[in-house]
Amino acid sequence: MTIRHFLDLSDAGPAAIAAMLNDAAARKKARAALPKGMVDPDAPLAGRTLAMIFEKNSTRTRVSFDMAMRQLGGTTIVMDAGSMQLGRGETVADTARVLSRMVDAIMIRTDDHAKIVEMARHATVPVINGLTDASHPCQIMADMQTVIERRGSLAGSKWAWLGDGNNVLHSIVEAGALMGFEVVAACPEGYDPDADVIGSAVNQGGKVRIERDPVKAVEGADIVVTDTWISMGQSHAEQKLAAMMPYQVTTGLMARAKPGATFLHCLPAHRGEEVVDAVIDGPQSAIWDEAENRLHAQKSVLLWSFGLL
């Protein structure tokens, strides 16, 4: 049987993503009254262990995967790469081979996307992308769940991205092409998303474009989404912050989107940089549901990876 790695959304494809989003909503509803540490009654991952490797900081990804495994009846081993032999030169391939003999799945947060591809090539258990410099598919599963909760469906919605053309945007672009929503990326010149990511979405019939004017980008948008201007591993650059300033999500900019448009942010936020307090704490912001949905969406990613969805 082929191993179900979840390195990017395209590894699953539209039908499986739809099934995962349905399952995430159903499981979320079914356990709404249960204490967070209680196992789902069917305990579908009883006896399974997920190893998590962090080469970068994390709050949401770490806690949501850990709680997801607990709620599904499984267990986790959480490791910072710096305290592993990986952090002092053991290869990704050898790490993958060893972990595959001891655990049932691996989640890794790393820098170079090539490392996770290498991990998947040598692992004999599923490998899940917990963020790389190139993409963050688990985040966008939670974002899609949040949008469905607010609007009922994804198809036909317009998402306006403001700011840096980064890993989170790449996964939104990929999701748009797979799930039938439009993505307009408003990025300052020099900070565009990867041309290959845009090209591949367009080739699949995706409705995606880059727009320099932030006001034009948000016009008619159902979803306004942003992220930090300086991602993990990037150096702090005054020049970049200055170029991003016109793309800050303000109440004025939100007012140019569709009435009732939803604001999303994967978090952590840099308040006063990519978004002002009045928007992130305002009535259109869905960020706490979005953060919570990391837990629910990833339970379904795990179930899919284990061949149970």
Is 139 noted as a catalytic residue in this protein? yes
> Closest-CB residue for ligand NVA?
231
Does 108 bind ligand CP (CB under 6 A)? Our answer is no
Is 196 noted as a catalytic residue in this protein? no
Is 62 noted as a catalytic residue in this protein? no
Is 227 noted as a catalytic residue in this protein? yes
Does 59 bind ligand CP (CB under 6 A)? Our answer is yes
Candidates 139, 146, 157, 285; binder of ligand CP (CB under 6 A) is: 139
CB of 187 to ligand NVA, least distance (A): 13
**Which two tokens mark 282?**
């305002």
| 125/142 with CB nearer ligand NVA | 142
**Which two tokens mark 206?**
């995706």
Q: Which spans in 104-220 are helix H?
A: 113-122, 137-151, 167-179, 195-203, 214-218
Q: Could you count the other beta carbons within 10 Å of the beta carbon of residue 207?
A: 15
Candidates 25, 84, 117, 267; binder of ligand CP (CB under 6 A) is: 267
CB-based burial, 265-287: b 16+ in 10 Å, e otherwise: bbbebeeebbbbeebbeeebbbb
Q: Which does 39 bind (CB under 5 to 8 A by kind): ligand CP, ligand NVA, none?
A: none
Q: Are 68 and 53 in contact (CB under 8 A)?
A: no
CB of 12 to ligand CP, least distance (A): 19
Strands of the chain (E only): list them. 49-54, 75-80, 105-109, 127-129, 158-162, 182-186, 208-211, 223-226, 262-265
227 phi and psi, to 5 degrees? -155, 175
User: Pick the catalytic residue: 48, 62, 104, 139?
Assistant: 139
Q: Are 172 and 193 in contact (CB under 8 A)?
A: no
17 phi and psi, to 5 degrees? -65, -45
CB of 58 to ligand CP, least distance (A): 3
Which residue in the block uniquely carries the two structure tokens 């900070």? 191
Q: Are 193 and 162 in contact (CB under 8 A)?
A: no
Is 136 noted as a catalytic residue in this protein? yes
Residues that bind ligand NVA (CB under 6 A): 131, 166-168, 227-228, 231-232, 266
Does 110 bind ligand CP (CB under 6 A)? Our answer is no
Candidates 86, 175, 266, 287; binder of ligand CP (CB under 6 A) is: 266
Does 60 bind ligand CP (CB under 6 A)? Our answer is yes
Q: Which does 59 bind (CB under 5 to 8 A by kind): ligand NVA, ligand CP, none?
A: ligand CP
**Which two tokens mark 84?**
């592993």
Is 187 noted as a catalytic residue in this protein? no
Does 58 bind ligand CP (CB under 6 A)? Our answer is yes
Q: What residues make contact with ligand CP under the rule CB under 6 A?
A: 58-61, 131, 139, 266-267
Active site residues: 109, 136, 139, 227, 266, 294
